[in-house]
């Protein structure tokens, strides 16, 4: 990775987009789409100003840190009480829709890719299940859209990546067993996945609770300088990340659980973390979309097959819509609202990181990697273009008025 030209190009994109951000953000060119296209243009598929190795350890580490911070920030906004009182639509999409998305996605992959083992098909589906509200920011920022609907999309995208992590870890471990055949012991791989999930949860619970108690105590005692408050809170996320790796747990599980336990111990400080994720976290996320365009989109284009594109379209439409529709059955929401919630399930940050992670751990299936990257590429384009106009249209529909109340 050639650092200087890469940083120069990234700086130009931040300045250029920033100057016109109000105009572009409310149009068909939201920031993630602009940064991904810029990365594709500047990178090896375009102007060939520099190249980024898609297997770079630096890229993987940056992606892991970005997702871990986002997971911690999203989870820290919740306390147990808030989870219980969560929007009923969000509860159903998370607890019913997410597993159904994985099930339907796995069945579709088995049918379309005969060479994939069932665990590999399930891995692909699990990596594509989480959504990313950043790709459809206009959907949740348009205040004309009812609060109930916006909150459903925000809550789902904030939590489903953390909830998908155990499934991704389990199927990734079993896929490693499937690929290594006689050299693999499925009990070892299943035990490895259980260790990653279990130790990650233990690390997150311990670090999040201890960090929350320490910060709360220091604040009440007057030891905590307000200028270091945000850094201290984010340090908890960093400790959870490092501690999980040290004891053999998964850093993403740890970051997510740490956010939940931190909120339980130190709820009055969670706004600070949320503010960071909203601002500085956006810098990290957009940088990753830029790197996706530079390094990962060209991989998908080089290995392109029509069957991969067909599955990507299925994932974004039929699979997602079916899972949402079934999960919301009996809630009384109208079809336009079902279609709106079903369509705005963009794939982005979590999927990118999951693919980098599982391929870094030895999974080598080309259909999984290429299909996942193509799905993200399509999502960046289609959801980015449709977010503002569809949000404006839905906001003034009869369905929005009918389904917007609790």
Cα radius of gyration rounded to whole Å, the chain = 21
The CATH number of 3-403 is 1.20.1530.20
Position 58 scores a pLDDT of 82
b/e sequence 61-79, b meaning 16+ C-beta within 10 Å: ebbbbbbbbbbbbbbbbbe
Is residue 265 over pLDDT 90? no
Each residue's pLDDT tens digit, 2-34: 677 788 888 889 998 889 888 887 777 888 888
Reported pTM: 0.85
CA–CA dist 180, 159 (Å, integer): 33
Tell me how far the alpha carbon of residue 321 is from its chain's centroid: 18
- pLDDT of 109-122, one tens digit each? 999 998 888 889 99
Confidence class for position 98, pLDDT limits 50, 70, 90: very high
Residue carrying structure tokens 């284009």: 301
pLDDT (tens digit per residue) in 303-329: 889 999 999 999 999 999 999 999 998
In angstroms, how far is CA 325 from the centroid of its own chain? 21
Question: Which of 151-160, 179-188, 312-321, 381-390 shows the lowest per-residue confidence on average (mean pLDDT)?
Answer: 179-188
Place of tokens 């459903």: 152
The beta-carbon contacts of 54-57 under 8 Å, at least 24 apart in sequence, are 54/295, 54/296, 54/299, 55/359, 55/360, 56/1, 56/295, 57/360
The answer, yes or no, to whether residue 183 has pLDDT greater than 50, is no
Q: How confident is the model at residue 186, as a pLDDT?
A: 57
Mean pLDDT of the chain: 82
Query: What per-residue confidence (pLDDT) applies to 361?
Result: 65
Residues in the chain: 406
8 Å CB contact between 153 and 140: yes
39-87: pLDDT as tens digits: 888 876 556 566 677 777 888 888 888 888 888 887 877 654 555 555 7
Of 21-30, 145-154, 183-192, 344-353, the poorest mean pLDDT is in 183-192
Alpha carbon distances (Å) from 294 to 120, 302, 344: 26, 13, 25
Instruction: For the chain, give the percent of residues with pLDDT over 70.
Output: 86
Which token pair is 287? 């940088």
Q: Where are the domains of the chain?
A: 3-403
Structure tokens at 34: 């602009």
Residue 225: how many other CB atoms lie within 10 Å: 10
Residue with the bigger pLDDT between 354 and 403: it is: 354
> Is the pLDDT assigned to residue 182 strictly greater than 60?
no
Percent of the chain with pLDDT over 90: 18
Question: Alpha carbon of 187 to those of 49, 116, 191: distances in Å?
Answer: 47, 20, 6
Cα separation, 222 vs 338, whole angstroms: 50
């Amino acid at each position: 990775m050639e650092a200087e030209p890469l940083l120069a190009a990234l700086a130009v994109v931040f300045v250029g987009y920033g100057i016109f951000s109000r105009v572009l953000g409310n149009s068909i060119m939201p920031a993630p789409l602009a940064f991904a296209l810029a990365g594709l243009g500047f990178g090896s598929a375009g102007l060939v100003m520099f190249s980024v190795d898609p297997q770079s350890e630096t890229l993987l580490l940056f992606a892991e840190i970005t997702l871990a911070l986002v997971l911690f920030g999203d989870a820290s906004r919740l306390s147990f009480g808030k989870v219980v009182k969560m929007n009923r639509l969000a509860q159903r999409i998370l607890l019913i829709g997410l597993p159904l998305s994985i099930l339907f996605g796995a069945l579709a992959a088995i049918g379309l890719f005969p060479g994939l083992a069932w665990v590999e098909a399930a891995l692909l589906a699990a990596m594509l299940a989480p959504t990313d509200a950043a790709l459809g920011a206009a959907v949740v920022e348009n205040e004309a859209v009812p609060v109930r609907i916006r909150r459903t999309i925000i809550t789902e995208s904030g939590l489903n990546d953390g909830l998908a992590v155990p499934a991704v870890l389990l199927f990734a471990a079993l896929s490693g067993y499937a690929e290594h055949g006689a050299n693999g012991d499925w009990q070892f791989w299943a035990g490895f996945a259980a260790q990653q999930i279990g130790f990650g949860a233990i690390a997150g619970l311990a670090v999040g609770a201890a960090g929350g108690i320490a910060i709360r105590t220091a604040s009440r005692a007057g030891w905590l300088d307000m200028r270091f408050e945000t850094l201290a809170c984010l340090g908890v996320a960093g400790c959870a990340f490092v501690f999980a790796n040290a004891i053999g747990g998964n850093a993403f599980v740890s970051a997510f659980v740490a956010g939940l336990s931190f909120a339980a111990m130190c709820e009055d400080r969670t706004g600070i973390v949320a503010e960071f994720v909203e601002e500085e976290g956006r810098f990290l996320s957009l940088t990753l979309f830029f790197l996706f365009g530079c390094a990962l989109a060209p991989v998908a284009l080089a290995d392109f097959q029509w069957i991969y594109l067909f599955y990507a379209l299925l994932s974004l439409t039929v699979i997602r819509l079916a899972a949402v529709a079934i999960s919301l059955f009996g809630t009384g929401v109208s079809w336009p609202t079902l279609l709106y919630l079903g369509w705005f399930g963009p794939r982005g940050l979590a999927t990118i990181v999951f693919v980098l992670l599982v391929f870094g751990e030895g999974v080598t299936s080309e259909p999984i990697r290429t299909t996942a990257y193509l799905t993200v590429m399509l999502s960046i384009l289609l959801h980015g273009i449709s977010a503002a106009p569809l949000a404006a249209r839905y906001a003034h529909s009869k369905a929005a008025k009918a389904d917007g109340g609790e």
